[in-house]
Amino acid sequence: MTSEAENLQLSVHVVSERENFNISGPSHLTTVDWENPNHRRSVAACLVQGVYILERDRQEKRVNTQALAPPWWKSFHFHLYRLLIDDVDSCIFGAIYQLTSIPLDPNNSAPRYVIAFRGTITKGDAFTRDFELDIHIIKNGLHQTSRFETAIQAVRHVVATYGSSNVWLTGHSLGSAMAMLAGKNMAKTGVYLEAFLFNPPFLSAPIEKIKDKKVKHGIRFAGSVITAGLALAMKNNNQTSRSGGTFSALSTWLPCLFVNPADHICSEYVGYFEHRKRMDEMGAGGIERLATQHSLGGLLMNVMGVQSEEPLHLIPSANLTVNRTPVRDFKDAHGIHQWWRDDLHLDTKIYKL
């Protein structure tokens, strides 16, 4: 039986392995083909991991040769252009990377700059602030936070300076929500950024967990009818009209979403898009096109006179990748590490409204 000290050492060893690029990174990815979607996905995920490790390096005071973060971007010929620091607790929540090895082909889809955001860190002094931001996502208030203001200013600066075609957005979990919100804000102005969103939060009842397909579809169908009916009844309401117009303005933006059906935080995206497709096949596409623009909870709050912001997860179009590879537990299903593996069973579909 191991002692408490030995357990602690084992825990530290496991964490270090996860953070060490040479042990846990994509060893198969020795050369990046920027036209290969698997390579693009893997690099984007590694750059997000780089932000996680940057914050862990800061917490553990690992500097110079002790720092574990640099290989997560240097291995793909990126330079750390700028850190994104939260003004509340001074934690590192994002980073801007600059590609230093530019392909000679001008039509190559390699990014010049990648803006990456990490998710919640459950250990160390960043957790309190991260958890606060998670609550803001639940309340549809992420746009009101100073962290997001820092993020969107950085995105606008890079786009204005270097052009939208040269910029990627990426993030995981909470960071995926930040990237999603930034991408939606830019899309509303006609700027459509390439986005790689890993395990993006979708706040809804866990309908996707229901095994019986008929029951699951019945619940979704009833929800769509109620939501569409309520939205139609409130068509003269300013909030409803504004939401519909905003939703249509986003239809050209096609972010890449990466979800795992075993991760309840993001799994509802599977049903969200598949249900739209099924409703079209049933001839009920008009109902669903109206329902998918609105949140039932938000509409009910409007009925009660409480103005509700547009839920973050409502998007008209996406390139959705579902990881069907079996996982051991929720930690594996939600983790960023799954997305740079080369043995995944992936289903990818494009959905456009």
14 pLDDT more than 80 = no
- Chain Cα centroid distance, residue 218: 28
70 pLDDT more than 80 = yes
Decide the pairing of beta strands 256-259 and 318-323. Answer: parallel
Q: Look up residue 53 and give its two tokens.
A: 């490790």
- Cα–Cα distance for residue pair 99/31, rounded to 1 Å: 14
- Cα–Cα distance for residue pair 71/48, rounded to 1 Å: 12
Sign, CA torsion 311/263/270/226: negative
Least confident of 25-29, 133-137, 142-146, 230-234: 230-234
- Cα–Cα distance for residue pair 145/317, rounded to 1 Å: 26
Q: Look up residue 288 and give its two tokens.
A: 């669903």
135 pLDDT more than 60 = yes
Let me know: does 113 contact 96? Beta carbons within 8 Å: yes
Q: Once rounded to an integer, what is the mean pLDDT over residues 127-152?
A: 93
pLDDT interval class at 274 (50, 70, 90) = confident
Q: pLDDT above 90 covers what percent of the chain? A: 60
pLDDT interval class at 248 (50, 70, 90) = confident
Q: Residue 21 has what pLDDT?
A: 95
Per-residue b/e over 279-294, b at no fewer than 16 CB within 10 Å? beeeebeebbbbbbbb
Q: Residue 99 has what pLDDT?
A: 96
- What is the tens place of the pLDDT at every residue in 154-174? 999 999 999 998 999 999 999
Let me know: does 208 contact 232? Beta carbons within 8 Å: no
Q: Once rounded to an integer, what is the mean pLDDT over residues 338-342?
A: 95
Q: Return the amino acid letter for 260.
A: N
Average pLDDT value for the chain:
83
First to last CA, the chain: 58
130 pLDDT more than 60 = yes
User: Among candidates 245, 247, 228, 250, which has minimal Cα distance to 299?
Assistant: 228
Q: Residue 145 has what pLDDT?
A: 95
Let me know: does 181 contact 148? Beta carbons within 8 Å: yes
Let me know: does 117 contact 94? Beta carbons within 8 Å: yes
pTM confidence score: 0.84
User: Among candidates 126, 143, 128, 133, which has minimal Cα distance to 180?
Assistant: 143
- What is the tens place of the pLDDT at every residue in 192-212? 999 999 999 987 666 666 665
What CATH topology corresponds to 28-206+252-284+316-351?
Rossmann fold (3.40.50)
Let me know: does 127 contact 121? Beta carbons within 8 Å: yes
Decide the pairing of beta strands 256-259 and 194-198. Answer: parallel
Domain layout of the chain by residue ranges: 28-206+252-284+316-351
223 pLDDT more than 90 = no
- What is the tens place of the pLDDT at every residue in 20-56? 999 999 999 999 999 999 999 999 999 999 999 999 9
Q: Residue 311 has what pLDDT?
A: 75
